[in-house]
């Protein structure tokens, strides 16, 4: 009788030992990294609050020079932040599958371009690429100009206050811009009530994502669905899909999309004209040709709404903060603007935008220090040979763009905001600076994002002088899918 429980314990221990042994991998074990605990790996470290977790990860990248491993319970991760290995991963077409994190996005974005792989991804990429062609972007610039003007207007009541939390203003602008360009519908307009609900739903979904990632017991879909947050997420997804369905239905019925994309030629686009194009039109056109179905359209529209607003909003809030803290930079941006426009108050054109070279350097430097997509993940379906190590099958390669951009062996005075470094030929290899990722799976919206940011910053600076309130050294980051500060960022606006 006495022996039975003891025997059971011994058996369990032996079983655990074998499971642990099965989960081990010699190649993986060779990679340097923090000490692991039996069965749990580094899982306990990962349960830190979102500020400590951010610091913990940065500490790792300081201790281990080029890469390190991190085992979160059963998940094997290799954290990579050196240009050579980043190049190996991103240039290969073999590693285009997204990692474990995409599992949490799937209930929302399904199998759209951002998450899909293989032929499906390839086909979608081919369909969507024309939406970002120069001539189409010219169409969109009208919408972006209007929204930057609206941003300027919305800031008017803020002038001369001791400081303004800028994020809500900027996020409102970027969400409306992407809504008008992707779906052809202004969230600020007739659908004001639905528009606000939709906006809130998208923001809430972002916060639920991190909540779930950190709580491993919510990882299994069935358990998550039962939890309060899981149920709430389901409701939010319904808000998003019903609004999106309504917009698509209207657009389809009105038939405004017919042949717009095939008709767009170099010379027939004048900025300010009223023929309004949306990315959705391209998808509807493709549907007529039988190359995409309604599920496909839905998931792509949702993906643009997700990828296309918060990424840009986060960069813009850091840009306003850092420009406010560098009056000499602010003056140079304004000087460039006045050189291009003189005393005219005409609306900016595509060629004006390409002349905003110094502003572009400022945005690039902001993206270096504050890359809103601060990490990306690739799953190793096949083993991957790195510079010094080998990633075994089944690991997630996490590329830390944030740490890559702050390497002192790649950038002179890496923590300093110095837009001038982008005025010269780069002194760093191409894969040391990848705010939009690189290779075949890079950001499809990068030109769009650059346009939007240039228009917003130049419009605001022209009307207001920015004075510093939040300083770069005050910023405490939290771990989230996009790079986010813990506390609101404040800037003071003074009428020029």
Ligand X SMILES: *[C@@H]1O[C@H](CO)[C@@H](O)[C@H](O)[C@H]1NC(C)=O
What residues make contact with ligand HEM under the rule CB under 6 A? 98, 113-114, 125, 303-304, 307-308, 311-312, 315, 372-373, 376, 435-437, 441, 443-445, 448-449
In contact, 73 and 216? CB cutoff 8 Å: yes
Of 66 and 307, the one with the shorter C-beta distance to ligand HEM is: 307
Of 288 and 331, the one with the shorter C-beta distance to ligand X is: 288
Burial 210-227 (b: 16+ CB within 10 A, else e): bebbbeeebbeeeebeee
- Residue closest to ligand HEM when measured from CB atoms: 445
CB of 490 to ligand X, least distance (A): 26
Residue from the set 7, 15, 47, 59 that interacts with ligand X by CB under 6 A: 59
CB of 315 to ligand HEM, least distance (A): 4
**Considering only residues 245-264, where is the footprint of ligand X by CB under 6 A?**
250-251, 254
- Describe the crossing of helices 327-341 and 446-463 by its angle, rounded to 10 degrees: 100
Going by C-alpha positions, the residue among 202, 247, 249, 228 that lies closest to residue 105 is: 202
Contacts of 153 (CB under 8 A, 6+ apart): none
Which of ligand HEM, ligand X, none sits in contact with 180, Cβ below 5 to 8 A by type? Answer: ligand X
Of 280 and 315, the one with the shorter C-beta distance to ligand X is: 280
Which of ligand HEM, ligand X, none sits in contact with 318, Cβ below 5 to 8 A by type? Answer: none
| Burial (CB count <10 Å: 0-12, 13-18, 19+), residue 12 | exposed
Alpha helix (H) ranges present in 92-155? 102-109, 118-128, 134-155
Which of ligand X, ligand HEM, none sits in contact with 191, Cβ below 5 to 8 A by type? Answer: none
Distance CA 444, CA 437 (A): 10
Which of ligand X, ligand HEM, none sits in contact with 52, Cβ below 5 to 8 A by type? Answer: ligand X
Distance CA 399, CA 376 (A): 5
Rounded to whole angstroms, what are the CA distances from 458 to 428, 435, 496? 28, 21, 13
Contacts of 406 (CB under 8 A, 6+ apart): 369, 414, 415
Residue from the set 91, 93, 129, 189 that interacts with ligand X by CB under 6 A: 189
3-class secondary structure, 41 = strand
CB of 496 to ligand HEM, least distance (A): 26
Residue 180 binds ligand X, judged by CB under 6 A = yes
CB of 399 to ligand X, least distance (A): 21
Residue 186 binds ligand X, judged by CB under 6 A = yes
In contact, 472 and 417? CB cutoff 8 Å: yes
Q: Which stretch binds ligand X (CB under 6 A): 182-190, 366-374, 376-384, 465-473?
A: 182-190
Contact flags string 29-58 toward ligand X, x per CB under 6 A: -----------------------x--xx--
Which of ligand HEM, ligand X, none sits in contact with 176, Cβ below 5 to 8 A by type? Answer: none
Which of ligand HEM, ligand X, none sits in contact with 376, Cβ below 5 to 8 A by type? Answer: ligand HEM
Distance CA 193, CA 474 (A): 36
Task: Specify the DSSP element, H or E, that contains 165.
Answer: strand 164-165
Residues that bind ligand X (CB under 6 A): 52, 55-56, 59, 180, 184, 186, 189, 250-251, 254
């Amino acid at each position: 009788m006495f022996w039975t429980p003891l025997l059971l314990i011994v058996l369990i221990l032996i079983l655990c030992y074998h499971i642990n042994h099965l989960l081990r991998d010699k190649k993986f074990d060779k990679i340097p990294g923090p000490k692991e605990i039996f069965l749990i790996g580094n899982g306990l470290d990962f349960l830190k609050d979102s500020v400590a977790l951010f610091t913990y990860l940065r500490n790792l990248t300081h201790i281990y020079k080029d890469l390190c491993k991190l085992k979160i319970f059963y998940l094997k991760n290799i954290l990579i932040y050196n240009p050579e290995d980043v190049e190996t991963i991103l240039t290969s077409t073999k590693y285009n599958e997204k990692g474990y994190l995409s599992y949490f996005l799937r209930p929302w974005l399904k199998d759209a371009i951002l998450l899909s792989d293989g032929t499906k991804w390839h086909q979608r990429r081919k369909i969507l690429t024309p939406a970002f062609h120069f001539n189409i972007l010219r169409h969109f610039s009208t919408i972006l100009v209007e929204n930057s003007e609206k941003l300027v207007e919305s800031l008017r009541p803020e002038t001369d206050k001791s400081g303004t939390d800028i994020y809500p203003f900027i996020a409102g602008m970027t969400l409306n811009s992407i809504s008008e360009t992707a779906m052809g519908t202004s969230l600020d307009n007739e659908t004001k009530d639905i528009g606000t609900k939709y906006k809130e739903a998208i923001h809430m979904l972002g916060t639920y994502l991190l909540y779930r990632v950190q709580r491993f017991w919510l990882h299994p879909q069935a358990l998550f669905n039962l939890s309060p947050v899981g149920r709430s997420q389901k409701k939010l997804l319904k808000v998003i899909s019903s609004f999106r369905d309504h917009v698509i239905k209207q657009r389809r019925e009105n038939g405004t999309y017919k042949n717009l994309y095939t008709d767009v030629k170099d010379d027939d686009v004048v900025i300010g004209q009223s023929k309004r194009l949306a990315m959705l039109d391209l998808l509807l056109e493709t549907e007529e040709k039988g190359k995409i179905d309604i599920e496909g359209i839905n998931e792509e529209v949702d993906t643009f709404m997700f990828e296309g607003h918060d990424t840009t909003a986060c960069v813009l809030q850091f840009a306003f903060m850092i420009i406010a803290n560098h009056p000499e930079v602010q003056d140079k941006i304004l000087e460039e603007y006045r050189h291009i426009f003189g005393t005219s108050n005409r609306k900016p054109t595509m060629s004006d935008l390409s002349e905003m070279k110094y502003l572009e350097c400022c945005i690039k430097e902001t993206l270096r220090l504050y890359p809103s997509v601060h990490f990306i993940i690739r799953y190793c379906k096949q083993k991957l040979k790195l510079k010094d190590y080998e990633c075994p099958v089944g690991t997630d390669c996490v590329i830390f763009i944030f740490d890559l951009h702050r390497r002192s062996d790649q950038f002179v005075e890496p923590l300093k905001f110095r837009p001038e470094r982008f005025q010269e030929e780069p002194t760093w290899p191409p894969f040391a600076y990848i705010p939009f990722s690189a290779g075949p799976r890079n950001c499809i919206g990068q030109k769009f994002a650059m346009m939007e940011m240039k228009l917003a910053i130049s419009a605001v600076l022209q009307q207001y002088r920015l004075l510093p309130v939040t300083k770069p050294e005050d910023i405490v980051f939290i771990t989230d899918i996009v790079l986010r500060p813990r506390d609101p960022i404040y800037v003071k606006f003074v009428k020029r």
